[in-house]
Amino acid sequence: MYAQTSSTASGVIKNNSGAPISNITITEKGTSNVTMSSQDGAFSLAVNNNAVLVISGVGYVQQEISVTGMKDIEVILEQSTDELSEIVVTALNISKEKRLCLMLLQNLKLIKLPKQVPTTSLLPYKAK
């Protein structure tokens, strides 16, 4: 008989005040095995027995947790002020792209359409 090499890591992600946090990324370290927390902060991920979970989300400090011997995992994430400043930088980049788009639209020239209406074989038929 072979030893079991995988298990299911499941639990809940909460903030400092105990409220569940959704859309937090849970990754098995060193793999591409990933899931996200649900609306109620719950997650479940099939992992190796000696796995380490990397838990991260925008605006929160990243944590690493070993799942060895753990059944129900409760993670309390702390808010990060560093992450919030990165969002502001991203917002500035978006506005620059919008300005570039507006400048391109201003440089477009209008094209005059012909005054004649194209004829087709459907024109002689009238709607009832």
Distance separating the N- and C-terminal Cα atoms of the chain:
79
Q: What is the pLDDT of residue 58?
A: 87
Q: What pLDDT band is residue 81 in, cutting at 50, 70 and 90?
A: confident
Pairing of strands 72-76, 6-14: parallel
pLDDT tens-place string over residues 29-39 = 999 999 999 99
**pLDDT (0 to 100) of residue 52:** 94
Domain ranges of the chain: 1-104
How far apart CA 29 and CA 117 sit, in angstroms, is: 65
> How many angstroms from the chain centroid is the CA of residue 77?
18
pTM (predicted TM-score): 0.60
Please tell me whether residue 106 adopts helix, strand or coil conformation: helix
pLDDT digits (tens, 9 = 90+) for 10-61: 999 999 999 999 999 999 999 999 999 999 999 999 998 889 999 999 889 9
**Structure confidence at residue 126 (pLDDT):** 57
Does 1-104 carry CATH code 2.60.40.1120?
yes
Q: Beta strands of the chain (E only): which ranges?
A: 6-14, 25-28, 34-36, 42-48, 52-56, 63-66, 72-76
pLDDT on residue 75: 93
